[in-house]
């Protein structure tokens, strides 16, 4: 029950931080800060894929509704959620994983977080910008936007975790 309240709080907080704050910031060079994938990433690894995808769909749809992006966030977060177990298995041995430990930077370490969340965030951003452009002639601009947006989004996700996530004992 406590975990459910925590996840509902994260859902609401990250939704409003994204749509009311970060979507309003214009940095230039096509940079767009997106931290909402952190919500899906912090969900338990033992969560079944189907509920994870439904929750991701609802979360993405909520952001799209406030952002007038017509499914861009939904498709990107669905891809993120679908690939989460795949990328996790690439960088972490399932046999060594304790499912009672919450997945976050404090419990898993910076290098692990960089590899797993960084990979997923890169894929998320690339997909978002590619679908936004929908033009193979602009793949260079898509990479530019991705390479400039991911580090900033990643750093803010790290900061949010250090501010709001507690290390398990």
Q: What is the pLDDT of residue 165?
A: 84
b/e sequence 81-102, b meaning 16+ C-beta within 10 Å: bebbeebbeeebeeeeeeeeeb
pLDDT digit string, tens, across residues 9-63: 999 999 999 999 999 998 998 899 999 999 999 999 889 999 999 999 999 999 9
Residue 3's pLDDT band (cuts 50, 70, 90): confident
Residue 59 lies in a domain: yes
Q: How many CB atoms lie within 10 A of CB 66?
A: 14
Kindly tell me if the per-residue pLDDT of 84 is higher than 70. Answer: yes
Residue 169 lies in a domain: no
- Model confidence, pTM: 0.94
Q: What is the pLDDT of residue 140?
A: 94
Distance of CA 138 to CAs 69, 88, 122, 144, Å? Answer: 19, 30, 17, 10
Q: How many CB atoms lie within 10 A of CB 128?
A: 25
Residue 87 lies in a domain: yes
Residue 37 lies in a domain: yes
Residue 147 lies in a domain: yes
Q: What is the pLDDT of residue 57?
A: 98
Tell which wins on pLDDT, 7 or 100. 7
Kindly tell me if the per-residue pLDDT of 144 is higher than 70. Answer: yes
pLDDT digit string, tens, across residues 90-139: 987 766 677 778 889 998 899 999 999 999 999 999 999 999 999 889 99
Tell which wins on pLDDT, 6 or 95. 6
Say how far apart CA 21 and CA 39 lie, in whole Å: 16
**Structure token pair of residue 53:** 């995808």
Say how far apart CA 40 and CA 22 lie, in whole Å: 18
Domain that holds residue 69: 2-164
Q: How many CB atoms lie within 10 A of CB 73?
A: 27
Say how far apart CA 84 and CA 119 lie, in whole Å: 10
Where are any strands of DSSP class E within 104-158?
none
Residue with tokens 């793949």: 139
Q: What is the pLDDT of residue 102?
A: 85
Please give the tally of structural domains in the chain.
1
């Amino acid at each position: 029950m406590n975990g459910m309240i925590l996840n509902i709080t994260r859902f609401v907080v990250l939704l409003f931080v994204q749509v009311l704050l970060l979507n309003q910031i214009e940095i230039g060079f096509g940079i767009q800060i997106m931290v909402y994938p952190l919500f899906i990433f912090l969900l338990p690894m033992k969560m079944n894929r189907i509920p994870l995808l439904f929750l991701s769909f609802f979360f993405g749809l909520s952001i799209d509704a406030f952002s007038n992006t017509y499914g861009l966030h939904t498709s990107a977060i669905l891809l993120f959620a679908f690939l989460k177990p795949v990328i996790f298995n690439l960088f972490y041995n399932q046999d060594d994983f304790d499912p009672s430990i919450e997945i976050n930077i404090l419990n898993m370490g910076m290098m692990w977080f960089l590899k797993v969340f960084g990979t997923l965030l890169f894929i998320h951003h690339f997909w978002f910008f590619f679908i936004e452009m929908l033009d193979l002639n602009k793949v260079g601009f898509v990479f530019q936007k991705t390479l400039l947006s991911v580090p900033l989004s990643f750093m803010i996700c790290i900061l949010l975790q250090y501010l709001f996530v507690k290390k398990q004992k």
